[in-house]
Amino acid sequence: MSLDEEFNAAAERIKTMTKRPNDEEFLELYALFKQANMGDNNTSKPSLFDLKAKAKWEWWNKQKNKSQDEAKKEYIAFVERMMSKYA
């Protein structure tokens, strides 16, 4: 299976979790997914008043300079850990 196929399978698999990960785990999943699909965050930082968007932006920004392939590998491994914890 190619890296892209593994990544897409992991993205589908995470949707089957029966429990929600904690906020930090969710933000890590989000950030790795965005980095894997979009690359470095080059969007404007959201308003200080939009706490949810600001948190997501900051977590994605922490992934800066990580290759998309590396982010896909980390996402796949993270999904495996989350599935064993929350499935």
pLDDT, tens only, 30-45? 999 999 999 999 999 9
Closest CA to 6 of 70, 68, 73, 67: 73
- Encoded amino acid at 22, one letter: N
User: Which residue type is seen at 14?
Assistant: I
Task: Collect all residues with Cβ–Cβ distance below 8 Å to 70 and sequence separation of at least 6.
Answer: none
User: What's the pLDDT score for residue 73?
Assistant: 98
Taking each helix axis from N to C end, the angle separating 68-86 and 3-13, rounded to the nearest 10 degrees, works out to 30
* Residue 12 lies in domain: 1-84
Q: For tokens 């308003």, what's the residue?
A: 47
* 11-25 pLDDT, tens digit each: 999 999 999 899 999
Q: In CATH, what number is assigned to the domain containing residue 45?
A: 1.20.80.10
Each residue's pLDDT tens digit, 29-87? 999 999 999 999 999 999 999 999 999 999 999 999 999 999 999 999 999 999 999 87
Number of domains in the chain: 1
